[in-house]
């Protein structure tokens, strides 16, 4: 179509945006007013799940929503403690269990608490690592079924991916998407040198929209995903 390198870049830009923006994808997080909406966060340890939950909690409380955090990674005491610090900082309630408690009971209690307090959102932090991958995926699937006992409550299952992991992110996305119906991706650590090009593969191969990006370690460092900006940066 062209022999000019600037034109070529513009063409490439357009192709990539079109690949991401097919007009059918919703990138906002779903919720229904007047009932507790559950957003589950899944992903391997260290990708930024807990930090992302804190960011989302802050964003939602700022717009006047009442948020309950469910510390359903009961396999690591440190996970609940970290979430507890964030809950205090962003002004959200938190439900946690003893270390080793059934994660399902934590989710159940958090949903009951949300209903009795008239809260809008339950954000569920899940385990990122168990003895085997099969155990982890079974556990997540079990949690999903517990949430779904309340029909319509589960609005989002968000897979958190670290932009610096490259191709491995695609492998993770495939595994989690097989086990639980992932509704969106949160791409963290885009503030570093990583450009997160793996997003193109995830969106075109798995059809999962990227909904949010993390651009730092503080609670304000969260942005909606914008295909145009992303491609321009890439």
Query: Are 42 and 140 in contact, with CB atoms under 8 Å apart?
Result: yes
Query: Are 103 and 72 in contact, with CB atoms under 8 Å apart?
Result: yes
Query: Are 73 and 127 in contact, with CB atoms under 8 Å apart?
Result: yes
Query: Are 126 and 44 in contact, with CB atoms under 8 Å apart?
Result: no
- Dihedral (CA of 31, 35, 41, 42) sign: negative
Pick one of 96, 155, 189, 211: the residue that binds ligand GDP (CB under 6 A): 189
Pick one of 126, 214, 225, 227: the residue that binds ligand GDP (CB under 6 A): 214
Q: In the chain, what is the straight-line distance between the N-terminal and C-terminal CA atoms, in Å? A: 22
Residue nearest to ligand GDP (CB): 214
Minimum CB separation from ligand GDP for residue 45, in Å?
4
Q: Applying CB under 6 A, does 74 fall inside the site for ligand GDP? A: no
Minimum CB separation from ligand GDP for residue 26, in Å?
22
Q: Which helix (H) or strand (E) holds 184?
A: strand 184-188
Q: Applying CB under 6 A, does 59 fall inside the site for ligand GDP? A: no
Pick one of 84, 104, 197, 216: the residue that binds ligand GDP (CB under 6 A): 216
Q: Applying CB under 6 A, does 183 fall inside the site for ligand GDP? A: no
Residues between 24 and 53 that touch ligand GDP (CB under 6 A): 43, 45-51
Q: Applying CB under 6 A, does 81 fall inside the site for ligand GDP? A: no
What are the tokens at 210?
Answer: 């990227």
Footprint of ligand GDP on this chain (CB under 6 A)?
43, 45-51, 128, 188-189, 191-192, 214-217, 221
């Amino acid at each position: 179509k062209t022999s000019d390198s600037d034109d070529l870049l513009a063409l490439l830009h357009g192709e990539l945006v079109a690949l991401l923006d097919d007009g059918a994808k919703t990138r906002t997080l779903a919720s229904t007013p007047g009932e507790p909406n559950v957003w589950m966060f899944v992903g391997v340890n260290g990708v930024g799940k807990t930090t992302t939950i804190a960011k989302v909690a802050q964003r939602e409380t700022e717009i006047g929503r009442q948020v309950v955090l469910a510390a359903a990674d009961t396999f690591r005491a440190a996970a609940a403690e970290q979430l507890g610090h964030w809950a205090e900082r962003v002004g959200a309630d938190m439900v946690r269990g003893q270390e080793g408690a059934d994660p399902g009971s934590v989710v159940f209690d958090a949903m009951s608490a949300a209903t009795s307090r008239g809260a809008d959102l339950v954000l569920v932090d899940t385990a990122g690592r168990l003895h085997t991958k099969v155990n982890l995926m079974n556990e997540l699937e079990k949690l999903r079924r517990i949430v779904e006992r309340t029909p319509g409550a589960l609005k989002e299952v968000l897979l958190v991916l670290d932009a610096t992991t490259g191709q491995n992110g695609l492998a993770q996305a495939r595994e989690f998407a097989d086990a639980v119906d992932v509704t969106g991706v949160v791409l963290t650590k885009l503030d570093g040198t990583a450009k997160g090009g793996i997003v193109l593969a995830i969106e075109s191969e798995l059809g999962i929209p990227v909904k949010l990006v993390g651009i730092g370690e503080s609670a304000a460092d969260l942005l909606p995903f914008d295909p145009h900006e992303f491609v321009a940066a890439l």
